[in-house]
Amino acid sequence: MDYTNLHMIITGGTGALGSSTVNLLLEGGAYCSIPCYDKSELDNFAPKDHDRVFIKTGVDLTDETAARNFYEDAIENSGPLWASVHIAGGFGMGSIEDSSKADFMKQINLNLVTCYNSCRNAITFMKEVGRGGRIVNIASRPALEPRQGAGMSAYTTSKAGVAALSQSLAAEVAADNILINAIAPSIIDTPANRNSMPDADYSKWPKPGEIASQIAYLVSKDNYVTRGGVIPVYGKS
């Protein structure tokens, strides 16, 4: 797809799914801006020196001011914002007995608050330009099928919030031609997930590149009508 001169922000852009998404968008001619909390995330991030990649380190997306400052800096560097993809987040397991309020709030902050702050800024700056835009958030399979969230209720709740946020905002900004969707992956085939589940059948898991291609369509100008979806990307699992 053609993304020539379109500026896109990808939170969590240095991770497995984020890197696949960034690479695909760069291949199509996009400018990509990536917030990075810890500079060490860049050690294995191949596109870090690409001339169409803007990276800012030390960005805490749970902080309202820090998120706003990043979006301002990214737009100043790379131009008006067309799309924002919100992959940043974290996973946590634990029974209810073993999960404190702090554990619960950590998942809410990592997954839901980062998404909320990013959506708020993306929508604000897209509306200022007035040409519309695209937003994709990352929910999860347990967000759509909460009974699969046994033993990880805090994570499941935070991702269900992402799904609800995506659907409500999609209705709110549709008239501005800002199309918002979420995707809901099952377990993604990454080295970290393979290491944590060595006996699993990896062939059934969706690959980062496969999911990235779905994101790439949703943020493209070829997507004229899809909004408010929480789209399963389960592969064969």
Instruction: Give the pLDDT confidence of 122-153 residue by residue, as tens digits.
Output: 999 999 999 999 999 999 999 999 999 999 99
Residue 25 lies in a domain: yes
Q: What is the pLDDT of residue 191?
A: 84
Q: Which residue range is the domain that position 154 belongs to?
A: 7-233
Looking from the CA of 190 toward its CB, the CA atoms found within 13 Å total 15
**What's the pLDDT tens digit per position in 16-59?**
999 999 999 999 999 999 999 999 999 999 999 999 999 999 99
| Chain segment 164-221, per-residue pLDDT in tens | 999 999 999 999 999 999 999 998 888 888 888 888 888 888 899 999 999 999 999 9
Q: Is residue 76 part of a domain?
A: yes
The whole-angstrom separation of Cα 163 and Cα 124 is: 20
SS3 33: strand
pLDDT computed for residue 195 by the predictor? 87
The answer as to whether 227 is a domain residue is yes
- Please report how the helices 208-218 and 16-27 are oriented relative to each other, as an axis angle in degrees rounded to 10: 50
User: What's the domain count of the chain?
Assistant: 1
CA contacts within 13 A on the Cβ side of 180: 28
Domain presence at residue 214: yes
Strand partners, 56: 35
Amino acid at 186: S
Quick check: is 26 in a domain? yes
Label residue 10 by pLDDT band (50, 70, 90). very high
- Token pair for residue 199? 């006996």
Name residue 135's beta-bridge partners: 84, 180
Please indicate, yes or no, if residue 144 is contained in any of the structural domains.
Answer: yes
Per-residue pLDDT tens over the stretch 158-169: 999 999 999 999
Type of residue numbered 122: A
CATH assignment of the domain containing 70: 3.40.50.720
1 occurs within a structural domain: no
Residue given tokens 């590149």 in the structure block = 209
Is the residue at 58 inside a domain? yes
pTM: 0.96
Buried b or exposed e, range 221-231, using 16+ CB within 10 angstroms = eebeeebebbb
Burial class (CB in 10 A: 0-12, 13-18, 19+), 109: middle
